[in-house]
Amino acid sequence: MITGLWIFFSIAGCLFILKMVYALSVAVSIPVTAGALYVSTSHVRVMSFLNEVKMAPGQLFIDIGCGDGRALRKACRLYNVRGIGYEVNPLAFLKAKCLSLGHKNIRIFFKNFFKDKLSDADVIFCYLFPDVMKQVSKKLKSELKPGTVIGSCNFELPGFVPEKVLRPGNSLHNDPIYIYRM
């Protein structure tokens, strides 16, 4: 009985601490992200995007707000591209860094992507928040070279016309992924 209670409270305590760490990391990043939480895109959705957007070895794939970096790792594995991720949520950044150890083609920066030029990208991937999409559109329009492909999960880029809209899989993964070409 005592052992059971001890195990229960230990697990509950660990879960509580994890929740607190998550909440704290969101709280410190929210002034930059303007509401975009650290929520990962499902593997089904990332794969659906990568199967649609073929890349050549050595091309540059950038995830602006890379979360745990899963899209970068999958793109590198599938196409042998170079990957760059920007992340301002400390928990997501640490996770992305740890999980990407050993992937020498991937670089992850603890940095606001608005502060860097994205002009070398061949493919941009994002899953941000509606409040910033207008600003993101403006930045991408002014920096990206013709032919660069952009994938935006869930939210449209104002001022762009999608080349295609993916709706991958069943109802769990069915939110749109908008694909644009500069």
Ligand X SMILES: C[S@@+](CC[C@H](N)C(=O)[O-])C[C@H]1O[C@@H](n2cnc3c(N)ncnc32)[C@H](O)[C@@H]1O
Contact residues: ligand X, CB under 6 A: 29, 32-33, 36, 38-41, 63, 65-67, 70-71, 86-89, 92, 112-114, 127-128
Torsion, CA 13, CA 67, CA 53, CA 124, rounded to 10 = 170
6 vs 166 by CB, closer to ligand X:
166
Tell me the residue nearest to ligand X as measured from the CB.
65
Q: How far is the CB of 18 from ligand X (least distance, A)?
A: 16
Half-sphere exposure (Cβ direction) of 127: Cα atoms closer than 13 Å: 20
Q: How far is the CB of 115 from ligand X (least distance, A)?
A: 8
Q: How far is the CB of 9 from ligand X (least distance, A)?
A: 31
- Between the alpha carbon of residue 71 and those of residues 5, 85, 145, 146, 160, the distances in Å are 40, 9, 22, 23, 23
63 vs 122 by CB, closer to ligand X:
63
- For residue 162, give the DSSP letter: -
75 vs 79 by CB, closer to ligand X:
75
Q: How far is the CB of 181 from ligand X (least distance, A)?
A: 20
Q: How far is the CB of 35 from ligand X (least distance, A)?
A: 9
110 vs 182 by CB, closer to ligand X:
110
The separation between CA 161 and the C-alpha centre of its own chain, rounded to angstroms, equals 21
Beta bridge partners of 182: none
Sign of the dihedral through C-alpha 135, 138, 144, 147 = positive
Q: Do 66 and 72 contact (CB within 8 A), yes or no? A: yes
69 vs 122 by CB, closer to ligand X:
69
